[in-house]
Amino acid sequence: MRDTTSEQGDTVPPIAGVDGCRAGWVVVLAHPLARDAEEHQVTVCARFDEGGHGLSIQAFNILPKIREVDRVMTPALQQQVYEAHPELAFQALAGYPLQDRKKTVTGREARLRVLETIPGLLFHGIRTAFERILHACKRTNVAPDDILDAYVLVWTALRIWRAQAHRVPCVPPSDARGLRMEIWY
């Protein structure tokens, strides 16, 4: 989620969707004005100026965290810290893109069903654990879709550890700091 100009000066196009994902699921903030903007309006204008799509308020609100990670990330640290995308992970786990938005009851149920297919003890009883977390935490602190995203990203971390995960792009370019511009799933 950083500058998408590679060491060779080539610009990597924003990822709008992968293998049938709906556009907008994977967002690459290529324009420095968009990445560093303090106001949502400026960010949206920057994204449209570069031929991209608008930026949701949710994506805008995580920009400070993205900048925070970007400041400390190094090529060496990138060997242990991976950027992953939950919707791509759900698609990989299901074998197809999930059509219903994760914030809807139908979308939440679809993701729970997919998580229940993961073999092994770690994910055994995932529905019960999910319900327990929902009852224990206030909705203002933890949204149901955030819990599901966390679960699927644990699955992704296990796949990375087992060398079974995938990334986009397959051969990622590096930015000016030598960081690979990639998202794992």
pLDDT of residue 35 exceeding 70 = no
State the pTM of this model: 0.73
pLDDT of residue 134 exceeding 50 = yes
pLDDT of residue 61 exceeding 90 = no
**What confidence category does residue 53 fall into, taking pLDDT thresholds of 50, 70 and 90?**
low
Q: Which sequence spans correspond to the domains of the chain?
A: 86-161
- Among the listed residues 95, 87, 85, the one whose alpha carbon sits nearest the alpha carbon of residue 167: 85
Q: Which residues fall within 8 angstroms of residue 105, CB to CB, at 6 or more apart? A: none
Q: Residue 134 corresponds to which tokens in the numbers above?
A: 């929902």
pLDDT digits (tens, 9 = 90+) for 75-88: 999 999 999 999 99
Predicted pLDDT of residue 27: 43
Predicted pLDDT of residue 79: 93
- The residue-averaged pLDDT of 129-143 equals 89
Phi-psi region of 120 (alpha: psi -120 to 50; beta: other; left: phi over 0): left
What is the distance between the alpha carbons of residues 119 and 20, in angstroms, rounded to a whole number?
A: 25
Predicted pLDDT of residue 64: 85
